[in-house]
Structure 1
């Protein structure tokens, strides 16, 4: 039985490799060796990509769209450039699960023909290649979410979001790698293996949207869509130094997507945009809400996109640590520098008490394994696939009774009210600023704490993760006595795993959080913070 899943996985990987056209295979004599850690530099320096391909794939989505709408650039040319760069990203970082290159080019040609005949674009995303996380169903393609039993089980329908983006003119060309069940903070599974961080291949690209973050950081996508149930947008964005928005549930449609823990709704999964450019995050968000998704997804909230006036002076609560795991030295340094720049720009910064974070994270952990791990186990069993070592909590879990689960819901609601009261008591508070994760990006296998993001999934608050412009420095960001001043066993482990020499040069991100359903406001405030940091 054990060979069955291995045989299925090997065949799937071969099919993926074979889907890359031979002319897009990087020649061995110029392919970066394993000792080349930053392959984004190789992508920019190599002559294997043409100057036109480099220019297209490094142009922000908003600028590309202007050229696509006027016909200055054809959708076909843009799509081919991103397809080729995505193919290279796969060869160097293992970030894809599905390719649809021929379909993408065919779609692009139709969009070009429409523009030529009518003089009008299809919609606000006309001709823009958009990458999708593996779990977004696209008719005719697998959505394995990392399970061998879901290989060769193509979707018979498109996810609602896929329909919306296609109607807006998006071109789909790849789907990206995830961890098993999308419930690990690193993108690794038994079918496709591990995705590497293109900025440093010794580091993780995060999870569960880590295939997306790797592809985007490499330049193989200009706008991607991931999901987030405990940090799965913000963690990979932070690991690779890109932007994302974790919206409140109900703003973007989730209908007809495949879930790793199907039916688990105590903590709702949301989807959101990821990009190297903040302008693309804003564009995507407005485009999706403007489509009135509540007319297609019954769980969407009928709130139109709201233009939020810019606020010149913000009141921000700073989270130095969450009382469980201290941020590592690079993150603490970036947070201190950011706070100083905010104060210099005239913003008010107050310290935030994180006493409620530990009980909220404890509740989240219990909710994810309330079924005793059955959801995962039932998808592993058909092929004899084993639990991955990162998922021992699901393997060891004991199923909760309905009464116990309802009591857990009551505990959650009580904590939500306490957090709301705490926020209200801090008069005029606009946002919270803190680490996205305790790491810049850890080495593979060392991402073990998701509390900084997960707490806001339970609260369902709107959050962004953004690069600060600061980078880890092996000379500055050191720990003299790991574990000596740790807050918990997890904190001790995090400090002992930290290797400043390997992490050197990794981008450092922070998280900005507004209240529930304040997606537009958190985007506005993120722009204000970026300006204080001198980031355009």
Structure 2
């Protein structure tokens, strides 16, 4: 019987072989490893046609009217994104599965339908959409980074995939994740590490880091990731794109593969990852407009609602979470945003981090409540070793039923305390960092507290680009006079390397209350107008 390394190597080779020869980057055009930023490769290489560049540089809302009218054929658009996704993978290792032929066949049928009927199939007619690895598509693996799941091809599709297909979407790739989707960088023993196309020395985040890398390279017009502790917001922040972490029940989650199946103390959700806020909003309206509660029994029958914001917002700013100070560029971006919002007439107040550590501890307890058994079971099936990033799961002790029930009670008590504070403050939103980093060198992502606490609360959150870039001449490391809040803080500040992240985009996070997805979208629109 083959050992786990042989099985993983064969899977990687199969993925490599799935790229047609015409989409393999010629050796003489391949950027050397010393080239960090590969986002300019499609234009600079001369390997893409002007039409392929025009298509793949377009956003979803620019493509959809042309696809619906027949001005652009879905087969042409899909082929262009297949080629660019293939290039993205060769430069960043962002994919886990391809189904190029299937995607092109779907696109041809959509073109034929439009030609025959004069009507598009649905609001997403002919548009390619990338999916995170854990979304089941028939005939494809969903390894979620486990060797044990190699060859376990899906026999059914995720409910969200069915919904998107019925709306006219075309599937062509799935994207890489970390082991069990429980690491903040996308690295596993099957496919290896996904890197950031803006700078291959730094991470694209996790666990939806394959998606963020692909979208940032423009190998996908938009994609879908998931989030249980920041897995949408962290990779969006690492690459400077938009994402929405919705409350549980707004988007369908049924029939997706989990790294820890059955764990429901903190719910995993899925959401869009896009290059524009308008694309993000359209995706949300489309998914909710399809009435997903008729297909997923845990979806809430809540239509997408119109929101009218007050003329001035009351925004509470959380400068740090009491566990780790943001690195200097993130603090600077937050300060600049606050100054502009205040100048525009919005009311700014301070949000104390007094409850953040409690929320982070709850999240940690929830993640390891089974003593790491679910993850250990999959590793032992193949003999795959524990990765060092999974150390907390390797040594965890399982909670008993009584202890788990108490954890649920502690969670609800925490949710109530936070809600009461919010109501007393009378705020519209919390503005805070998404992570302590713009991005960070591969292997050095240390803290998910800024995102994970809001998973415990099940709040609606958007990670969005602030418009500020890291400047190593300004964003100097904290000096010797700085007194770290925690050992974690000391490590993060000591490892901050302005040279490594110079020029990287900086995202911020806007947090609304539970089920306020429409409101956070509207508030970020207002913020972008103010910050631009």
Say if 1:483 and 1:496, in contact at 8 Å, map to a contact too. Answer: no
Q: Give the aligned partner of residue 351 of structure 2.
A: 352
- Would you say 1:494 and 2:502 are equivalent positions? no
CA offsets, 1:308-350, max 9 Å, x none?
A: 1244321100010011100000000000000011111111111
Q: Give the aligned partner of residue 133 of structure 1.
A: 132
- Would you say 1:364 and 2:372 are equivalent positions? no
- Would you say 1:104 and 2:91 are equivalent positions? no
Say if 2:372 and 2:395, in contact at 8 Å, map to a contact too. Answer: yes
Say if 1:319 and 1:432, in contact at 8 Å, map to a contact too. Answer: yes
CA offsets, 1:182-236, max 9 Å, x none?
A: 0000000000000000000000000000000000000000110000000000000
Say if 1:58 and 1:219, in contact at 8 Å, map to a contact too. Answer: yes
**1:436 and 1:295 mapped to 2: Cα distance?**
33
Q: Give the aligned partner of residue 528 of structure 2.
A: 530
**1:324 and 1:310 mapped to 2: Cα distance?**
33
Say if 1:312 and 1:528, in contact at 8 Å, map to a contact too. Answer: no
User: Deviation at 1:419?
Assistant: 0.3
Summarize the alignment of residues 113-152 of structure 1 with structure 2, pairs less than 5 Å apart.
113-152=112-151
SS in structure 2 of the partner of residue 39 of structure 1: coil
SS in structure 2 of the partner of residue 97 of structure 1: strand
Q: Give the aligned partner of residue 408 of structure 1.
A: 407
SS in structure 2 of the partner of residue 103 of structure 1: helix
**2:178 and 2:507 mapped to 1: Cα distance?**
22
Q: Give the aligned partner of residue 94 of structure 1.
A: 93
**2:178 and 2:59 mapped to 1: Cα distance?**
28
Say if 1:471 and 1:505, in contact at 8 Å, map to a contact too. Answer: yes
**1:158 and 1:403 mapped to 2: Cα distance?**
36
SS in structure 1 of the partner of residue 282 of structure 2: helix
SS in structure 1 of the partner of residue 113 of structure 2: helix
**2:453 and 2:311 mapped to 1: Cα distance?**
28
User: Deviation at 1:282?
Assistant: 0.6
Task: Please list every run of 5 or more consecutive structure 2 residues that lacks an aligned counterpart in the other structure.
Answer: none
In structure 2, do the counterparts of structure 1 residues 483 and 249 end up closer, same or farther at CA, with 3 Å as the change threshold?
Answer: farther
SS in structure 2 of the partner of residue 49 of structure 1: coil
- Would you say 1:256 and 2:255 are equivalent positions? yes
- Matching residue within 427, 430, 433 for 1:432: 430
Of 312-321 and 84-93, deviating more is: 312-321
Say if 1:40 and 1:199, in contact at 8 Å, map to a contact too. Answer: yes
User: Deviation at 1:485?
Assistant: 1.9
Q: Give the aligned partner of residue 441 of structure 2.
A: 443
**1:42 and 1:63 mapped to 2: Cα distance?**
22
- Would you say 1:78 and 2:77 are equivalent positions? yes
Q: TM-score, normalised by structure 2?
A: 0.99
- Would you say 1:506 and 2:504 are equivalent positions? yes
Q: Give the aligned partner of residue 455 of structure 2.
A: 457
CA offsets, 1:166-196, max 9 Å, x none?
A: 0000000000000000000000000000000
Task: Please list every run of 5 or more consecutive structure 1 residues that lacks an aligned counterpart in the other structure.
Answer: none
**2:395 and 2:424 mapped to 1: Cα distance?**
41
User: Deviation at 1:408?
Assistant: 1.2
Say if 1:482 and 1:492, in contact at 8 Å, map to a contact too. Answer: no
**2:495 and 2:268 mapped to 1: Cα distance?**
29
User: Deviation at 1:294?
Assistant: 0.6
User: Deviation at 1:482?
Assistant: 6.0
Say if 2:140 and 2:154, in contact at 8 Å, map to a contact too. Answer: yes
Of 44-53 and 85-94, deviating more is: 44-53
Say if 2:130 and 2:211, in contact at 8 Å, map to a contact too. Answer: yes
Q: Give the aligned partner of residue 274 of structure 1.
A: 273
Of 128-137 and 338-347, deviating more is: 338-347
- Would you say 1:307 and 2:306 are equivalent positions? yes
**1:491 and 1:44 mapped to 2: Cα distance?**
40
Say if 2:371 and 2:393, in contact at 8 Å, map to a contact too. Answer: yes
Summarize the alignment of residues 183-194 of structure 1 with structure 2, pairs less than 5 Å apart.
183-194=182-193
**1:199 and 1:176 mapped to 2: Cα distance?**
17
Say if 1:248 and 1:270, in contact at 8 Å, map to a contact too. Answer: yes
User: Deviation at 1:45?
Assistant: 2.1
Q: Give the aligned partner of residue 474 of structure 1.
A: 472
CA offsets, 1:114-157, max 9 Å, x none?
A: 01111110000000000000000001100000000000000010
SS in structure 1 of the partner of residue 3 of structure 2: helix
CA offsets, 1:460-497, max 9 Å, x none?
A: 00000000111111111112436942110110010111
User: Deviation at 1:241?
Assistant: 0.4
User: Deviation at 1:277?
Assistant: 1.6
Say if 1:134 and 1:143, in contact at 8 Å, map to a contact too. Answer: yes
In structure 2, do the counterparts of structure 1 residues 248 and 527 end up closer, same or farther at CA, with 3 Å as the change threshold?
Answer: same
Say if 1:129 and 1:171, in contact at 8 Å, map to a contact too. Answer: yes
Q: What RMSD over aligned residues (CA atoms) do the two structures have, in Å?
A: 1.0
Q: TM-score, normalised by structure 1?
A: 0.98
Q: Give the aligned partner of residue 163 of structure 1.
A: 162
Summarize the alignment of residues 167-186 of structure 1 with structure 2, pairs less than 5 Å apart.
167-186=166-185
How many residues are aligned here?
A: 532
Q: Give the aligned partner of residue 43 of structure 1.
A: 42
Q: Give the aligned partner of residue 53 of structure 2.
A: 54
In structure 2, do the counterparts of structure 1 residues 482 and 412 end up closer, same or farther at CA, with 3 Å as the change threshold?
Answer: farther
**2:498 and 2:55 mapped to 1: Cα distance?**
35
Say if 1:482 and 1:496, in contact at 8 Å, map to a contact too. Answer: no
**2:251 and 2:79 mapped to 1: Cα distance?**
29
Say if 2:478 and 2:493, in contact at 8 Å, map to a contact too. Answer: no
In structure 2, do the counterparts of structure 1 residues 424 and 257 end up closer, same or farther at CA, with 3 Å as the change threshold?
Answer: same
**1:425 and 1:260 mapped to 2: Cα distance?**
38
SS in structure 2 of the partner of residue 203 of structure 1: strand
**2:507 and 2:18 mapped to 1: Cα distance?**
35
In structure 2, do the counterparts of structure 1 residues 483 and 97 end up closer, same or farther at CA, with 3 Å as the change threshold?
Answer: farther
Say if 2:477 and 2:497, in contact at 8 Å, map to a contact too. Answer: no
- Would you say 1:332 and 2:356 are equivalent positions? no
